[in-house]
Amino acid sequence: MNENEFSNAVINFSSKMKPFAINLTQDLDDANDLIQETVYRAITNKDKFRIGTNLKAWMFTIMKNIFINAYRKKAKRKTVIDTTDNLYYLNSAAVSTNIVNRSEANFIMDDILHAISGLDDEYKVPFIMHYNGFKYQEIAEELKLPLGTVKSRIFFARKDLKKKLKIYEENKNSGSKYE
């Protein structure tokens, strides 16, 4: 594929990337900027594209990486780094106004922990392992259970917890602060 054919293929495919870009950015203008940056990077990095590689997958990967890098950069920019000796900026009134009373969240967390402790062990153990980041397969191997059994136990634990904590869902839907 020569350079013109590659550029035309990239440009023609860019119109199909809009739904994915909107899904990532949640904003039409940001999505258009993301598509433009993706096309630019794809064309300038043509030498990294290998014949036989799926152009669609390659471009979506570029788009996803651009979005992730921009998100990380934005998050880093919001980080407050206080190099003063007495942490003046962190202890100043401007920052301290962001302190939130977490007592309500503590009550909610107590209710969640109480609901989890009320689960039968056969459901609680796989659920807690999954909550702590174990993959289904790892849980199945650790507990010496079939994979389907692990999945169904976690499903039923979630279902039971949702029923026990229904009040928070009702309050959320009615516009209460429990969101």
Residue 169 predicted with pLDDT over 80: no
Q: Which residues of 132-160 are buried (b: 16+ CB within 10 A; e: fewer)?
A: eebeeeebbeebebeeeebbebbebbeeb
Mean pLDDT of 106-133: 88
Q: What value does the mean pLDDT take over residues 135-157? A: 94
27: left (phi over 0), alpha (psi -120 to 50) or beta: beta
C-alpha distances (whole Å) from 133 to each of 13, 67, 104, 127 are: 37, 25, 26, 10
Kindly report the CA angle at 47 between 45 and 52, in degrees rounded to 5?
110
State the pLDDT confidence band at 72, using cuts at 50, 70 and 90.
Answer: confident
Domains of the chain: 3-77 (1.10.1740.10), 103-173 (1.10.10.10)
State the pTM of this model: 0.45
- Whether the CA torsion 149, 150, 154, 157 is positive or negative: it is positive
CA distances from 20 to 57, 60, 70, 137, 147 (A): 12, 8, 16, 30, 32
Position 85 confidence tier, pLDDT thresholds 50, 70, 90: low
Quick check: 149 and 122 in contact, CB under 8 A? no
* Each residue's pLDDT tens digit, 23-62: 888 889 999 999 999 999 999 999 998 888 898 889 999 9
Q: What is the pLDDT of residues 2-18, one digit of tens each?
A: 888 888 899 988 889 99
Distance separating alpha carbons of residues 68 and 38, to the nearest angstrom: 13
